[in-house]
Structure 1
Amino acid sequence: MTSLLLRPVEAAEQLGIGRTKLYELMSAGKLGYVQIGALRRIPLAALEKFIDDNAAPVHLDADDAPHAAAGL
C-alpha cells in the first residue's frame, strides 16, 4: 500500500534534495505539510503540487514543433 504521508527524509529523496532544503521549503510555505504533534509529514498531493507549480515551461524551437517533423 502506498503511504499518503511521507516522512521528510522520504519526501526529500523523492525530490532529489537534502532534508535541510526540504525544511526550508516547508518553512517558506512553498511545500505543504501536515503537523502531527511534533512531527511533520508531507502529503503526496503536496509533493505533486510542488512539482507542478515549479516545473519549468517547455519552449519548442520551430524545428522541434510537431508540424515541422511531419513536413507540414
Structure 2
Amino acid sequence: MSIDPAPRPITVRIPEACRITGIGRSKLYELIKAGDIPTIKVGSMTLVPVIGLERFLERCGQEEIR
C-alpha cells in the first residue's frame, strides 16, 4: 500500500478553480451568484469545493447529451 505524497485538494481558491476548469473569472462569479457552483467563505477568502466544480461540469455534460 502506497501513500499519496500529494493528496487531492478538497477546495481551491477562485484563480485555481478558473485554471482547472477553463472557466473565466467573470463567468465563474456569475455561476457562483446563480447558485450553480457552491462556495465556502473563510473570513475574506472564498473557497470552491472541487466536488462542486465536478458536479457542475457533469450536469453541463448531461444537458448537452440530452
TM-score of the pair, normalised by structure 2: 0.77
Corresponding residue SS for 2:65? coil
Question: Aligned pair 1:57/2:53, yes or no?
Answer: no
RMSD in angstroms over aligned alpha carbons?
Answer: 1.3
Q: Greater relative contact order: 1 or 2 (C-alpha under 8 angstroms, separation 6 or more)?
A: 2
In 2, the alpha carbon distance for the partners of 1:50 and 1:13 equals 15
Corresponding residue SS for 2:27? helix
The structure with the larger Rg is 1
Unaligned runs of 5+ in 2: 1-6
Unaligned runs of 5+ in 1: 59-72
Identity, % of aligned positions:
33
Corresponding residue SS for 2:9? coil
Structure 1 segments, 4+ long, off by >3 Å, are: none
The number of residues matched between the two structures is: 58
Question: Aligned pair 1:6/2:12, yes or no?
Answer: yes
